[in-house]
Amino acid sequence: MVRYADPGALEWVESGGGPLIAVPETVLPFWAGADGEETASDYDRACEVDGVVGLLPVGDSAALVLGDEPASTAYLPEHGAFVRWCAANSEDELLSGVPAALATADWENEVRWEVPGAVVLFDSAWPGSETGRTDCLKVPLQPGSYAVRAANVQPGPETWLGLVQLRRLG
């Protein structure tokens, strides 16, 4: 059994201050980030997402914006969830609270996300074509529809985390 805090067992993605975004790998070249010649860049559109999660059109698909705050984020495939590090004394402490947090979370309204396959999580300020030069995480998702729900949870007195759970729809 792999423990989350084992070296290399879990990758965290950080932002320079704006939202993180999960863009389907097939449409990465269409995400311009903070670059672009239009008055509102893709990054500006991501910053305008109101709430913990939201969807933005990218190419012929949609990207999932992880809004609210620019917390370090990892993906836990066994829970089908992004976990966002808001406050904790250690990675072990944060991640040990995930199962209870999933069970007791007060979830916000779900959004439906159509995914063509794997997505890449990264700082929304970066162009999709430049993800090789920044922190990013490839998340291998099966093509299809997903219900996405989010919550902020306090599983311990000094531990706060955000959850964004993806549930594949039949």
20 and 121 Cβ atoms separated by less than 8 Å:
yes
Residue matched to tokens 């311009």: 32
Confidence at residue 8, expressed as pLDDT on a 0 to 100 scale: 54
DSSP string, 95-113: HHTHHHHHHH--PPPPEEE
- Residue 35's pLDDT band, with cuts at 50, 70 and 90, is confident
Confidence at residue 23, expressed as pLDDT on a 0 to 100 scale: 98
Mean per-residue pLDDT, 89-107:
92
**Three-state DSSP class for residue 36:** coil
Confidence at residue 1, expressed as pLDDT on a 0 to 100 scale: 35
Helices (H) then strands (E): counts for the chain = 3, 10
Tens digit of each residue's pLDDT (9 = 90 or more) over 129-148: 998 888 899 999 999 999 99
Confidence at residue 36, expressed as pLDDT on a 0 to 100 scale: 67
Among 149, 144, 151, 150, CA closest to 168:
144
66 and 164 Cβ atoms separated by less than 8 Å:
yes
Least confidently predicted of 23-27, 38-42, 90-94, 162-166: 38-42
Tens digit of each residue's pLDDT (9 = 90 or more) over 102-116: 999 999 989 999 999
- Residue 2's pLDDT band, with cuts at 50, 70 and 90, is very low
Parse the chain into domains and list their residue ranges: 20-168
User: What's the chain's average pLDDT?
Assistant: 90
